[in-house]
Copies of this chain bind each other. A is one copy, B any other.
């Protein structure tokens, strides 16, 4: 089953509700684009490529929702829907990328409103299908970087759940494992939303890949004591100079890898690379509700005292000097990133 897909019987966008995993595997169904925007905001679906695919299907829903009788009227409704979806989350550029692609496709349709509705669904389906194919290509390129016997630290979730299927960084690990390489994964639990402990652990368990969960704090210990050979993570947006915005904690993890001479790889589809931004510091960083930090229970007890406040930035920027290479579907990109990233991004 794909993480995000279109149900052709009910004409709904469906997705695994990732908030309920690993306890419950439930499918959420949406027939309004505004509800897809809410699902993205509330992280029913998360992971940059999965968000992009969900936004594409959200636009297909918007086309069906619209009462417009002609293509021009429908295009106006699609513009409005794109504006609603675009602000759901700010950091992952795949959201804007998918919406822009859908709007470009809409602009090319020379026909009726129904032709445009059909084109929208077709384009959204193409985005989803291509994502799976792109992930497989990334995985092949990235798996060559992994050696038999490696222990790998992985941050957040970048697997099938973060994409339409297969995954980015976790897809690389999965492919290396299927190639017969013996791998052990140390899974960063990834506070505050614990995508590592909840989602990556669940995926690895299903794939039969050996793993252990560690608190994010412990990554430095394992790196410094020589127990780790590589670090892998995804990205939500990569700037033209190779600065990587990714799940909060990636910067400190990359620092610790760098301090110990352990290579750190970001695995991304080229749709995550934003050549319009010169530096990572231009990437907008989402700050989410303090409840994600404060709503924690340990052994049945609430953790933070009543009345406590919290800050909750969801992403940080890892400067390019700490990134060994960026793995894309078009090959592995090494520094200088400002020169070499351009070569793999199709204009």
Contacts and interface: CB of A to CB of B under 8 A. Distances in A.
A122 interface: no
- One complex includes copies of this chain to the number of 2
Interface string A273-292: 00000000000010000100
B296 A296 contact: yes
A183 interface: no
> Chain A interface residue count: which class?
35 or more
Contacts of A317: 224
Contact of A310 (B214, B259, B285, B306): B214
B189 A293 contact: yes
A201 interface: yes
A346 to B, nearest CB: 32
A221 interface: yes
Interface in A190-217: 190-194, 197-198, 201-202, 205, 211-217
A218 B296 contact: no
A337 to B, nearest CB: 18
Given A189-B303, A301-B23, A217 B252 contact: yes
Given A190-B217, A213-B294, 20 more contacts: A22-B305, A189-B293, A189-B303, A191-B217, A197-B304, A197-B308, A198-B298, A201-B304, A201-B305, A201-B308, A211-B309, A213-B308, A215-B293, A216-B249, A217-B316, A221-B248, A221-B251, A251-B256, A296-B298, A297-B298
A219 interface: yes
Interface in A299-315: 299-313, 315
A169 interface: no
A308 B316 CA distance: 28
Nearest to A219: B252
Contacts of A211: 308-309
Contacts of A294: 197, 213
A159 to B, nearest CB: 13
B248 A256 contact: no
